[in-house]
Amino acid sequence: MKHLYVGKFSHREGFQRVFFIYFLFFSIIITAQTYPETVQLNNVQYESYQTPTGPKPGYLQETTNEFGNKLTRISDAAVFGTTDFNVRHHYSLDEPWNSDGSLIKLAGYPAAILDADTYEFLYWAGIPSSATWSYSEPNIMYGISGNRFVSYDVTTNNRQTIRTFSDYSVIEYGGSKGNMSIDDKYVGLIGRNGSNRTLIVYDVENDVVVATRNIGTAAIGWFSVSQSGQYAVSCYLADGSADDQGMKVFNIDLTNRRHLDDYTKHGDLGIDANGNDVYVTFGDPVTRGNDYYMKMIRLSDGVQTPLFHYTSDYGVWNGHISCRNTSRPGWAYVNEGCCQTVGRKEVFAIKLDGSDMIQRFAYHHTNENTGYAHQAHAVPNRDGSKVMFASNWNNQFTEAHPPSFVVEAPATLGIEENEAVATNHIKVYPNPSRDGMVHIKLNGNIAVKSIQLYDMLGRTIRTEEMVSNEKSLNLSHLPEGVYLLSFQTENNGSVTKRIVLN
C-alpha cells in the first residue's frame, strides 16, 4: 500500500511559511462554504439558556434551530436496530467524515457508515479498534488489532497489517484519543507489556519506528502527534509539573522533551491563525481569574494565548474542544455544558488569534448529567462548515446512547456558488487517482467555464476550458500528492475540490 504525504520540512520556520501559504490558500477555498456569522464575543447579548419546547427532532427531518442554522438528526435506534453506542459518533477528537466528505463513520464495532450528503444509513463496517479515517484516501481507515497497526478498506471490509510491533503484547492508538499527522505519515502509539508503557512514534509511509520512550507504569491519558507532524504530545492523568504529571511536548523524534502545561483538561491539537502547531484547551485558575476561559499553547515554545475573554457572567468551564477542521486551520470548535454563559449548552467555533471572534452553530440541548455517553462531544467536518454532536434533547431520548445530529449554516447561493450545494453537481473521479487520470462530470444546473489546477502552494499548474459536461485530465506526469481543482462558473463564482494523485 502506498501512503501519501505532502512533504517533509527540516526547519520549523520553513514549515510554518509553507503551511501559512497553505492556510491562506484554503482561506480562498472556504469562501465557497457557508458559515454562521462571525461576531465578537462580548458583543453577544447574554440570554439565559432555554430548554427546547415541542417534540424531539425526527430522524432525517431537517429543521431550523435557534440560530437559523440547519439541523438534522442523522441516527435512530429503531432504524439501526440497536440502542448501543452505534447510534452516535465516537468523540470530539475522532473525525466522523472521510477525506472527501462523502462518508460518515459513527461509533462502535461494527460501525454504521452513512452517506454524508443524505445522512442515510448505508451499511455496517467491521472497523478495527480506534479506527480513524485516512487524510488522503477516502475509503481507508487506520487502526489497531492487538499489537498490529492496520489499514482497513471500508468498501471491501479488508484489513491489511502495516506493521506488527512484536516487542509489545498490545499497542494503543494514542490511548483512543490519537490522530495521525495530516499527511498520513506519523502516528503516536503506546506499546504495552502488562502495566509497563512505551511511547512510540511510527513513520507509516516508510515503515520505520522513528523513536521510542519508556514511561514505565506512569498513568498516561493519551499520546498523539501534531497536525504538522513536527511534534509529539503526551498527556498524563494527573495535573502538575512532575515527570508523570501534566502535559509534555517532544520533537517528533522524541528528543527535546519539555513541560507544556500543568493542566490536563479536554482539548485538541490544532493550527492557529499564523500556521503554528498549538494545543487548544479550557482555561486554568490563572486565566479564569482574568476572565479568560480558554487558552492555546504553542508547541514550539510553550507560549500561551488566552482565549474567550468573557466578563458578563461565568465563562466556559466544561465540555469538549475539537480541531478536526484540518482544512480550515485557525479555528477551534467547542461545546459547553455547565455554565450560565453565552456558551451554555452551545456549539460554537472560536478563531485562534486572540480576537474572541466566534461563530455560533447550535444549542446541543443534551443533559450531560445523564452520563458520559450522553455528552455532546461536538466535532466539525474537515472544512468546519458542519458540526456533529450527540444529544438526548433534554432527556427526550431515553436510550443508553442518544443519537447524533449535524448542524450547518443555510446555503446562500448568489454570485459565488456554495460548495456544499455545488459539490453535488460536480463529480471528480476516481479520487484518489492511481494512474493520473481524473474525470470530471457536471450534473444539474451548474455551468463551468474553465478549470484551474493548483498545487498545495497555490501555484497554477494548468488551465483548461470546459466546453461540455464531461472532461478527462491526464495528470500522470505530475508527482504524487494533493492538488486543487478550481471550477470557474458562468456566474463568476468558483468551486474548489481537492484531488489526490498516488
Is the four-CA dihedral 31, 320, 394, 53 of positive or negative sign? negative
Q: What is the CA radius of gyration of the chain?
A: 22
pLDDT, tens only, 369-391: 899 999 999 999 999 999 999 99
C-alpha distance from residue 261 to each of 6, 32, 61 (Å)? 30, 38, 44
Q: What is the pLDDT of residue 434?
A: 83
Is the four-CA dihedral 459, 462, 468, 474 of positive or negative sign? negative
Q: Is 275 left (phi over 0), alpha (psi -120 to 50) or beta?
A: left
Check whether residue 430 and residue 395 sit in a common domain: no
Decide if 280 is inside a domain.
Answer: yes
Decide if 109 is inside a domain.
Answer: yes
Which DSSP symbol is given to 46?
P
Decide if 13 is inside a domain.
Answer: no
pTM: 0.80
Q: What is the pLDDT of residue 20?
A: 44
Q: What is the pLDDT of residue 359?
A: 94
CA distance 112 to 80: 8
Half-sphere exposure of 308 (CA within 13 A, CB side): 30
Q: What is the pLDDT of residue 10?
A: 42
**Number of domains composing the chain:** 2
User: In the chain, which stretches have pLDDT less than 70?
Assistant: 1-33, 339-341, 343, 411-424, 444-445, 456-458, 491-494
Check whether residue 352 and residue 457 sit in a common domain: no
CA distance 5 to 185: 6
Q: What is the pLDDT of residue 360?
A: 94
Asked whether the beta carbons of 139 and 154 are under 8 A apart, the reply is yes
Q: How far is CA 152 from the centre of its chain?
A: 19
Is the four-CA dihedral 419, 425, 431, 433 of positive or negative sign? negative
Q: What is the pLDDT of residue 424?
A: 61
Q: What is the pLDDT of residue 12?
A: 45
Q: What is the pLDDT of residue 11?
A: 41
Decide if 20 is inside a domain.
Answer: no
Is the four-CA dihedral 153, 154, 158, 164 of positive or negative sign? positive
Domain final position from 379, 408, 437: 408
Check whether residue 90 and residue 204 sit in a common domain: yes
Check whether residue 435 and residue 322 sit in a common domain: no
E-assigned strand segments in 324-436: 331-336, 346-351, 357-363, 379-380, 386-390, 404-408, 426-429
Residue range(s) defining the domain that contains residue 453: 426-501
Q: What is the pLDDT of residue 231?
A: 98
Q: What is the pLDDT of residue 449?
A: 86
CA distance 311 to 54: 33
Q: What is the pLDDT of residue 176?
A: 79
Check whether residue 248 and residue 312 sit in a common domain: yes
What is the SS3 string spanning 234-263? EEECCCCCCCCCCEEEEECCCCCCEEEECC
pLDDT, tens only, 400-453: 999 999 999 986 533 333 444 455 678 888 877 888 999 988 876 678 888 988
Check whether residue 207 and residue 314 sit in a common domain: yes
Give me the phi and psi of 391, to 5 degrees please: -160, 135
